[in-house]
Amino acid sequence: MGVAAGFGVLALGAVFLLGPGITVSHAADCGNVAAPGLDWSGCSKTNIMLQTSDLQGANLVGAHFDSTDLSDADLTSANLEKATLVRAWLKNAKADGANFAKIEAYRSDFSNASANNVSFANAELQRAEFAGAQLNNADFQKAELGRADFDKALLTGANFSFANLSRATLNGAVMEGPTSFGGAFMYLTRIEGLDLSKAGGLQQAQINLACGDNTTILPSWLKAPSAWPCPPDEKD
C-alpha cells in the first residue's frame, strides 16, 4: 500500500508539474468508425471501403487513404492537410470548404466531386482526375498538376498561381469569372476551346507553351501563337 501510495503521489505531482494551461494531446481515434468530427489524424486507412462515409469536419491531418474508396463520402470542412490519397477514389464526394493542402494524391479521382472553396495549395496531384468537379474558388497555388484532367470542371475563381499545369487538360472546363494563372507553368497545357477572356495573370510566354486552337478565347492583350494547334497528346 505504501508503494502504491507513493506512485500516486508521483503521478499527481507530474500533473502539477505540467503547469496551468498546458494540456496533453490525446491519441487519435484510429479505431473508431467514420463519423462527423472524429480524429483520424495520422491514422492508416488504406485499401478500405469508405463510400458514403460521413466525415464532416473530421481531423484527417496526415492520415493515409492510399487506394481507399471515398466515393460519395461527405468531407465538408474536413482537414486533410498532408494526408496521402494516392490512387484514392473521391468520386461524387462532398468536400466544400475542406483543406487538401500539401496532400499526396497521385492518380486520385475527384470526378464530379463538389469541392468549392477548398485548398489544394502545394498538393501533389499529378494525373489526378477532376472531370465534372465543382471547384469554384479552389486554391491550387503551387500545386503539382501535371497531366491532371479538368474536363467540364467548374473553375470560376480558382487560383492556379505558380502551379505546374504541364500537359494538364483544361479544355472543356468552365470559367465564368476571374481565374488566376499568375506564374503557372503551362507547358503543353490543353486549352483548346477554353474561354480565358476573364483569366488573370496570363503572360504571352505561358500561352506560347500551351496548346490552344482557333476556338480558344484569350484576353485582349495576348495573341495565339503560330504553332497552334498542337499535335494530339501521347498518352502513356
**What is the pLDDT of the chain when averaged over all its residues?**
90
**Rounded distance between C-alpha atoms, residue 81 and residue 132, angstroms:** 23
pLDDT 10s digits, 111-150: 999 999 999 999 999 999 999 999 999 999 999 999 999 9
The answer to whether position 19 is within a domain reads no
**Rounded distance between C-alpha atoms, residue 79 and residue 118, angstroms:** 10
Which pLDDT score, from 0 to 100, does residue 12 have? 38
The answer to whether position 34 is within a domain reads no
φ, ψ at 39 (rounded to 5°) = -110, 105
**Residue-number span of the structural domain to which 112 is assigned:** 48-231
Which pLDDT score, from 0 to 100, does residue 145 have? 98
**Rounded distance between C-alpha atoms, residue 192 and residue 215, angstroms:** 6
Q: From first to last of its 236 residues, what are the pLDDT tens digits of the chain?
A: 444 444 343 343 433 334 444 333 355 899 999 999 999 999 999 999 999 999 999 999 999 999 999 999 999 999 999 999 999 999 999 999 999 999 999 999 999 999 999 999 999 999 999 999 999 999 999 999 999 999 999 999 999 999 999 999 999 999 998 999 999 999 999 999 999 999 999 999 999 999 999 999 999 999 999 999 999 887 66
The answer to whether position 63 is within a domain reads yes
The answer to whether position 59 is within a domain reads yes
The answer to whether position 20 is within a domain reads no
How many Cα neighbours within 13 Å face the side chain of 4? 1
Could you give the number of structural domains in the chain?
A: 1
The answer to whether position 74 is within a domain reads yes
Which pLDDT score, from 0 to 100, does residue 9 have? 39
DSSP structure string for the chain? -HHHHHHHHHHHHHHHHT-TT--PPPPP-TTSPP-TT-B-TT-B-TT-B-TT-B-TT-B-TT-B-TT-B-TT-B-TT-B-TT-B-TT-B-TT-B-TT-B-TT-B-TT-B-TT-B-TT-B-TT-B-TT-B-TT-B-TT-B-TT-B-TT-B-TT-B-TT-B-TT-B-TT-B-TT-B--S-EE-TT-B-TT-B-TT-B-TTEES--HHHHHHSB--TTPBPPTT----TTPSPPPP---
pLDDT 10s digits, 69-98: 999 999 999 999 999 999 999 999 999 999
The answer to whether position 8 is within a domain reads no
Q: What is the CATH number of the domain that holds 157?
A: 2.160.20.80
**Rounded distance between C-alpha atoms, residue 51 and residue 99, angstroms:** 19
Which pLDDT score, from 0 to 100, does residue 3 have? 44
The answer to whether position 15 is within a domain reads no
**All cell numbers assigned to 178:** 476571374
Dihedral (CA of 135, 140, 144, 147) sign: positive
Dihedral (CA of 197, 200, 205, 210) sign: negative
